[in-house]
Amino acid sequence: MTQTISLKRGLPIKTLLGIALVGVVLAVLPFVIGIAGQSWVRTLNFALLYVMLALGLNIVVGFAGLLDLGYIAFYAVGAYTWALLASPHFGLHLPFWAILPISIAIAGLFGVLLGAPTLKLRGDYLAIVTLGFGEIIRIFLTNLNAPINITNGPQGINRIDPFKIGDFTFARAETFFGIRFTGPEKYYYLLLAIVLLILLVCARLQNSRIGRAWEAIREDEIAAKAMGINTRNVKLLAFAMGASFGGAAGAMFAAMQGFVSPESFSLTESISILCMVVLGGMGHIPGVILGAILLAAMPEFLRAVVEPAQHMIFGAVILDPEGIRMLMFGLAMVLVMLFRPAGLWPSAVRKRELARGKGASA
């Protein structure tokens, strides 16, 4: 009966109920987590930012098969664009509907600038070039304070305007219909809406002709070129689309934090985002989201557990909680790559490829 309804009227009833349940959970999630403190709501917001970044990097790494170790540069470009256009640094306080598209466009332009010199590079060589690009952007942000102070150097830019619509600002708590919404809770719903929009774009791209061209380049670039695919334009489009999502995430980061500095855009952040994509399952959108949420939330969860556990067992903090947290984090990554090399939630295509590779080696 359910199958008949799904054929005639669209989605099955069970699927609709599942979507409705997920919607309810996402709607009440910040209030449930907020019981433990607003810091956990902020952690949830950062997890959504990392989901945006992971989805953007997944276009480059997962769909097109281009290894990018400098993806954090686009995050930095988006953040500094918002900071420069919405702060007292230059005396500009432009509205969000002007700054956000500019941040996305500039980040996309930087994606093209990165992709253009790397069109003939693959594998390790591409990774080295993109790594260098990410470091160049960070060093420029650190040193562009003389002779003209553009980025305020290592001190960063503060007093950045929050995201606001008219007189409605996301930076302070307000009460609506008898329900109190804090700043982090309002940002949660804003970030969730942007993530859903990016998710829709990624899903449409993956199932489009462009998405199939990316997958063809990932599997065999020479064969894709022989089939008539313009590999140059398609690869540049992958860099531009991935970078634009990073620019959007960076703009939201600057608005939410109210402060940006070059320290937030280190190589470690690029590697963390790449780990999210690989851990969840390259090329599989649900897997990438899972990997981003796990790796964004796990360090904070371990931070909250390691120190109290030592107090409970030894009566004092004996081992550095940060070191233990990173040790457990690294061990978890090693175990996953050993026993789930395709990721925690790989795509069906990826699973078949690995099974075929094991069969050939056997």
Tokens of 303: 């931070």
Q: Which two tokens stand for residue 173?
A: 């708590």
Check pLDDT > 90 for residue 137. Answer: yes
8 A C-beta contact, residue 117 and residue 132: no
Report residue 354's pLDDT band, with 50, 70 and 90 as the boundaries.
Answer: low
How sure is the predictor about 357, in pLDDT bands with cuts at 50, 70 and 90?
Answer: low
- pLDDT tens digits along 289-300: 999 998 888 888
pLDDT classification of 14: cutoffs 50, 70, 90 = confident
User: What distance in Å separates the CA atoms of residue 49 and residue 163, rounded to the nearest whole number?
Assistant: 15
At residue 4 the predicted structure's pLDDT band, cuts being 50, 70 and 90, is very low
Q: For the residues 144-153, what does the mean pLDDT come to?
A: 91
Q: Are 239 and 111 in contact (CB under 8 A)?
A: yes
Task: With a cut of 60, say whether residue 1 has pLDDT above it.
Answer: no
Q: What is the DSSP letter of 10?
A: S
State how far the Cα of 11 lies from the Cα of 3, in Å rounded to an integer.
9
Confidence of residue 47 (pLDDT cuts 50, 70, 90): very high
Is pLDDT of 212 > 60?
yes
Tokens 């094991």 found at: 358
Q: What 3-state class would DSSP assign to 255?
A: helix
What would the two tokens of residue 171 be? Answer: 């930076």
CA torsion 357-277-122-216 (nearest 10°) is 60
> Two tokens at 19?
């979507």
Task: Identify which of 248, 265, 259, 245 has the alpha carbon closest to the alpha carbon of residue 83.
Answer: 259
Share of the chain above pLDDT 90, in %: 53
Give the residue extent of every domain in the chain: 1-36, 39-279
Contact status, residue 330 vs residue 271, Cβ threshold 8 Å: no
